[in-house]
A and B are shown apart, each in its own frame.
Chain A
Amino acid sequence: PAFRRGLAKEAGPRTVRQLREAEEAAPVFQYAGKAAKRKDRVFVWGFCYSGALGVPSFVKPDVGWKKPRRIQPTPYRLETEEKISSAACGYGFTLLSSNTTDIIKVWGMGLNKDSQLGFQRSIRDRTKGYEYVLEPSPIPLPLEKPQQTRVLQVSCGRAHSLILTDSEGVFTMGNNSYGQCGRKVVEDETYIESHLIHQLKEFDSRVVQVVCGQDHSLFRTKKGAVYACGWGADGQTGLGHYNITSVPTKLRGDIAGVNIIQVSSYGDCCLAVSDEGDVFGWGNSEYLQLASVTETTQVNVPRHLPFKIGKIKEAACGGTGNIVLTEEGNVFVWGYGILGKGPNLIETAVPEMIPPSLFGWSDFNPDIRVAHVRCGLSQFAALTNRGELFVWGKNLRGCLGTGRMEDQYFPWRVTVPGEVVDVACGVDHMVSMVKSF
Chain B
Amino acid sequence: MAAVPGGLFAVYKPAGVAWGRVREAVETQLLRELNAAAAGRAPRQHVRFLPAPAGGDGGATGLVAAKVPVLADHPLVRGPRFRRLKIGAGHRLDVKASGVFVLGIGDGNKLLTDLYNCHLTKVYTVGGLFGKATDDFSDTGKLVEKTTFDHITREKLERILAVIQGTNHKALLMHSNIDMKTQEAYELAVKGLIRPMGKSPPIITAVRSLQFALPEFQLEIHCLHETQQYLRKIVHEIGLELKSSAVCTQVRRIRDGVFTLDDALPRTQWNLQSIRNAISDCQLKVKTELEKTLGYQDKSNLHKMDAEVAHTADS
> Which A residues contact B (CB, under 8 angstroms)?
22-23, 26-34, 36, 341-344, 355, 357-358, 360, 362, 364-365, 386-388, 406-410, 412-413, 415, 419, 437
Q: List 18 A-B contacts (CB under 8 A).
A: A23-B143, A26-B146, A29-B147, A31-B147, A33-B148, A34-B150, A343-B181, A343-B183, A355-B190, A357-B189, A357-B190, A358-B190, A362-B192, A364-B206, A365-B206, A387-B162, A406-B180, A410-B185
B166 at the interface (CB under 8 A from A): yes
> Number of B interface residues, CB 8 Å?
37
> Which B residues contact A (CB, under 8 angstroms)?
131, 143, 145-148, 150-151, 156, 159-160, 162-163, 165-167, 169-170, 173, 180-183, 185-187, 189-192, 206, 208, 222, 241-244
Taken together as a complex, chains A and B put the C-alpha atoms of A409 and B190 apart, in Å, by 12
Tell whether, in the assembled complex, residue A30 and residue B181 are in contact, meaning their CB atoms are under 8 Å apart.
Answer: no
Tell whether, in the assembled complex, residue B186 and residue A343 are in contact, meaning their CB atoms are under 8 Å apart.
Answer: yes
Contact of A342 among B145, B169, B187 (CB under 8 A): B187
Query: B274 to nearest A CB, angstroms?
Result: 33
Contact of A30 among B147, B159, B166, B190 (CB under 8 A): B147
Contact of A360 among B169, B183, B241 (CB under 8 A): B169
Taken together as a complex, chains A and B put the C-alpha atoms of A27 and B186 apart, in Å, by 53
Tell whether, in the assembled complex, residue A36 and residue B159 are in contact, meaning their CB atoms are under 8 Å apart.
Answer: no
Taken together as a complex, chains A and B put the C-alpha atoms of A32 and B191 apart, in Å, by 41
Closest to A355 in B: B190
Query: In the complex, what residues of B have CB within 8 A of residue A341's CB?
Result: 186
Given known contacts A22-B143, A34-B151, A408-B180, A415 and B187 CB-to-CB distance under 8 angstroms: no
Tell whether, in the assembled complex, residue B151 and residue A413 are in contact, meaning their CB atoms are under 8 Å apart.
Answer: no
Tell whether, in the assembled complex, residue B183 and residue A388 are in contact, meaning their CB atoms are under 8 Å apart.
Answer: no
Tell whether, in the assembled complex, residue A437 and residue B159 are in contact, meaning their CB atoms are under 8 Å apart.
Answer: yes
Given known contacts A388-B166, A413-B169, A28 and B160 CB-to-CB distance under 8 angstroms: no
Contact of A410 among B162, B186, B192 (CB under 8 A): B186
Taken together as a complex, chains A and B put the C-alpha atoms of A410 and B181 apart, in Å, by 9
Given known contacts A30-B148, A341-B186, A343-B186, A364 and B208 CB-to-CB distance under 8 angstroms: yes
Query: In the complex, what residues of B have CB within 8 A of residue A410's CB?
Result: 180, 185-186, 189-190
Query: B168 to nearest A CB, angstroms?
Result: 10
Query: In the complex, what residues of A have CB within 8 A of residue B147's CB?
Result: 28-31
Query: B198 to nearest A CB, angstroms?
Result: 20
Query: B214 to nearest A CB, angstroms?
Result: 12
Taken together as a complex, chains A and B put the C-alpha atoms of A29 and B147 apart, in Å, by 4
